[in-house]
Amino acid sequence: MREVLIKNKEILERLDGFIDTINSMDIGYIQRRIKQRGDKHKHYATSKEYLNYILEKTKKKEFRGPPEIAKLFDLCNNYDIAKDWQDLMKDVSFTFAQELGAQQNALFCYYPEDGYIGWHDNRDAPGYTVLFNWSKGGDAFYRYRDWKTGKIHTIKDRPGWTCKTGWYGPGQESTFHCAMTNEPRWSIAFYMRNETMRDQLVEEIESE
């Protein structure tokens, strides 16, 4: 995984536009629909203890890839929500994805102030990711395990939008990752199977 600097003003304006739209809507509607997956807390979900538990399950071929514990609400491909939220979801998942040249939207989720997503590696949907995150004060982080060294790295949010890219999938090179926040946070992830497509998108994002 590596950070991607958002230098493209058009992309940044588009991302800021999503936040402007969200701020004009009833966020309570989303907050009331959050269902915690599992009975753990954010510090355990992002801990080395829980990572070791997931790695052990993986060795036994008992781990499928998606997160087993989380506290968030995912709007991606969610048609059971109010029309105004559906309209926003479609703008992110389809229009914005097409503008970026991404294969598909993999995630469009809201984390409450005590939100988190536990260690996982998305081995059920292998591919390259471009991940955008937003938090007002930057009081959140993304954490991942380097598959080569086993070392755990933590990338802290900054106020506003940040971006990262990497590869998720099965096998030795799998990137296990997690995240937690102390304030409301939004994540938008796009998925590509082709590395060249991912590199072209990253180049566009970092282009002034």
Q: What is the CATH number of the domain that holds 112?
A: 2.60.120
pLDDT band (50, 70, 90) for residue 136: very high
pLDDT band (50, 70, 90) for residue 174: confident
| Mean pLDDT, residues 38-58 taken together | 92
Residue 125: is its pLDDT beyond 90? no
Which pair of tokens denotes residue 115?
A: 């939100």
The residue behind tokens 């390259």 is: 128
Structural domains counted in the chain: 1
First to last CA, the chain: 22
Distance CA 53, CA 3 (A): 27
Better pLDDT: 172 or 68: 68
- Domain span at 65: 2-205
Q: Please state, as a whole number, how many other Cβ atoms lie within 10 Å of the Cβ of residue 191.
A: 21
Please tell me the predicted confidence (pLDDT) of residue 129. Answer: 94
Please tell me the predicted confidence (pLDDT) of residue 37. Answer: 83
Q: State the pairing for strand pair 185-192/127-135.
A: antiparallel
Distance CA 10, CA 100 (A): 11
Residue 70: is its pLDDT beyond 80? yes
For the entire predicted model, the pTM comes to 0.94
Please tell me the predicted confidence (pLDDT) of residue 74. Answer: 97
| Mean pLDDT, residues 161-170 taken together | 92
pLDDT band (50, 70, 90) for residue 38: confident
